[in-house]
Amino acid sequence: MYTGKNILVGQSGGPTAVINASLAGVLSAARQAGIGKIYGMRYGLQGLLEGKIIDLEPLTSEKNLLLLQKTPAAYLGSCRVKLPKIEDKAEVYEALFAFLMERDIGAVFYIGGNDSMDAARKLSAYAARVSSPIRFIGVPKTIDNDMACTDHTPGFGSAARYIACVTREVVQDALVYDQKRITIMEIMGRDAGWLTGAAALAWGANHIGPDFIYLPETPLDLDEFCERAVERQRTRRSLVIAVSEGVRATSGHYVCEATAMNPDYQDAFGHRDISGTARALCELLALRCGCKARAVEVNVLQRCAAHYTAATDVREAFAVGEAAVRAAMAGHTGVMPAFERIGSDPYACRIVLRNLGDIANAVRHVPLEWIKPGGAGLTDEFLQYVRPLADMENDEEGLPALP
């Protein structure tokens, strides 16, 4: 059915440590299926709109597929472009489809997060409207893990493993001096606190971990926040606090708004620049606690740490790429391979197809009942959910803290 047809694959949104493993999965399955040419978009839809596609044949060698799985960030390049509504600017879609037909493209695979799934949804909706046979399949990725209709997203497990590891290291570092001090770690997550919650994994056999964890799901009362820190410092002199970059005060404003370098900046999707949360909270606590306060912005390091991935995550990222190709071969369009969890002990997931219309623009939050009040951490349910994704079922033994 696909004989003679070509395919096109692109990446979109923020990179992850394993997004290239999904690309490798698409390439591997396509090569095995005997598909014609395999094209890649340079810089996602933005590049496609400018006609920037390249032949990916050289990437499909055994050696390059292996290298690709170890390479962080989006190898094809990415973008943050929002497609217009079809009824507002049909000519954009007409031009795109003409371009795809000219190159005999039978299926398009778009690897990305919520905004990217919305783009894939719009394209498949336009295909239905004009009765185009071109199939559009989404491939999930986001370290934020905030996608609807799936147990989790590729990219999250590795980022969670990395956050657990560096949180433990930062806590060890913070305990070194016999001094009052505050360390605030800023972790990515605009609306959902899945990744910041992974800081709770730092608590292990050696009984050290972050003192407080604050997610965007619950508003932050700044007075209570300070009081809790002052109270805790009576028994623990050096505190470590993990916060999502997207934490909001009870006023509804982002905590970082007072100190943001570009408070008015918005990207194509209307997202604000929300860095500086830890720094703002440090300024507050340094005054209230009367001690040095240090912000540790984990920054892009948490989404590109290919040197410390979760093997489960790499394998699953590859698998959704393969599943996307199989879905297109089976005649599906407007869908995304997603994970359905069968069990956590032992961990098992199966891949199912979900409709892009149910996924696009939805945000999946950490359930409120998994968040302990007052920044006291995450529940066992959360930890059981995230541990197998981060390859942390069997946590290493560590040295006990000294008296």
Catalytic residues: 144
Q: Which of 192, 149, 119, 153 is nearest to 358 (CA)?
A: 149
Which amino acid is present at 282? C
Based on CB atoms, which residue is closest to its own copies, 274 or 356? Answer: 274
The minimum distance between CB 23 and its own copies, in angstroms, equals 11
Using CB under 8 A as the binding rule, whether residue 165 contacts its own copies is answered as yes
* Cα distance between residue 338 and residue 350, in whole Å: 8
Based on CB atoms, which residue is closest to its own copies, 259 or 379? Answer: 259
Provide the mask over 269-298, with x wherever binding to its own copies is found by CB under 8 A and - wherever it is not. Answer: -------------xx----------x-xxx
Based on CB atoms, which residue is closest to its own copies, 10 or 337? Answer: 10
Asked if 186 contacts 221 with a C-beta cutoff of 8 angstroms, the reply is: no
**From 73-81, 95-103, 106-114, 342-350, span contacting its own copies (CB under 8 A):** 73-81
Asked if 182 contacts 211 with a C-beta cutoff of 8 angstroms, the reply is: no
Asked if 221 contacts 373 with a C-beta cutoff of 8 angstroms, the reply is: no
Using CB under 8 A as the binding rule, whether residue 301 contacts its own copies is answered as yes
Among the listed residues 170, 192, 195, 317, the single contact to its own copies using CB under 8 A: 170
**From 28-36, 69-77, 95-103, 330-338, span contacting its own copies (CB under 8 A):** 69-77
Using CB under 8 A as the binding rule, whether residue 158 contacts its own copies is answered as no
Based on CB atoms, which residue is closest to its own copies, 157 or 337? Answer: 157
* Cα distance between residue 200 and residue 221, in whole Å: 21
Which amino acid is present at 395? D
Using CB under 8 A as the binding rule, whether residue 261 contacts its own copies is answered as yes
CA distances 371 to 42, 170, 315, 368, Å, are: 40, 22, 29, 5
Burial of 312 (0-12, 13-18, 19+ CB in 10 A): buried
Contacting residues for 120 by C-beta, under 8 A, at least 6 apart: 108, 110, 112, 136, 137, 138, 334, 336, 356, 360
**From 91-99, 117-125, 177-185, 349-357, span contacting its own copies (CB under 8 A):** 177-185
The minimum distance between CB 259 and its own copies, in angstroms, equals 11
Using CB under 8 A as the binding rule, whether residue 268 contacts its own copies is answered as no
Among the listed residues 36, 37, 64, 230, the single contact to its own copies using CB under 8 A: 64
Using CB under 8 A as the binding rule, whether residue 221 contacts its own copies is answered as no
Based on CB atoms, which residue is closest to its own copies, 166 or 320? Answer: 166
Give the DSSP letter string of 16-43.
-SSHHHHHHHHHHHHHHTT-S-EEEETT
Q: Residue 174: in which H helix or E strand, if any?
A: helix 156-174
The minimum distance between CB 341 and its own copies, in angstroms, equals 27
3 state SS of 67: helix
Among the listed residues 175, 226, 249, 352, the single contact to its own copies using CB under 8 A: 175
The minimum distance between CB 129 and its own copies, in angstroms, equals 29
Provide the mask over 114-153, with x wherever binding to its own copies is found by CB under 8 A and - wherever it is not. Answer: ----------------------------------------
Asked whether the CA dihedral 299, 300, 302, 305 is positive or negative, the reply is negative
The minimum distance between CB 21 and its own copies, in angstroms, equals 13
Structure tokens at 123: 């394209």
Based on CB atoms, which residue is closest to its own copies, 1 or 261? Answer: 261
Based on CB atoms, which residue is closest to its own copies, 70 or 365? Answer: 70
Cβ atoms within 10 A of the Cβ of 48, count? 23
Based on CB atoms, which residue is closest to its own copies, 75 or 254? Answer: 75
Backbone angles phi, psi at 397, to 5 degrees: -75, 140
Among the listed residues 10, 15, 193, 337, the single contact to its own copies using CB under 8 A: 15
Burial of 402 (0-12, 13-18, 19+ CB in 10 A): exposed
Interface ranges with its own copies (CB under 8 A) = 15, 42-43, 46-47, 54, 59, 64, 67-68, 71-80, 165-166, 169-170, 172-173, 175-178, 183, 261, 282-283, 294, 296-301, 303-308, 397-399, 402-403
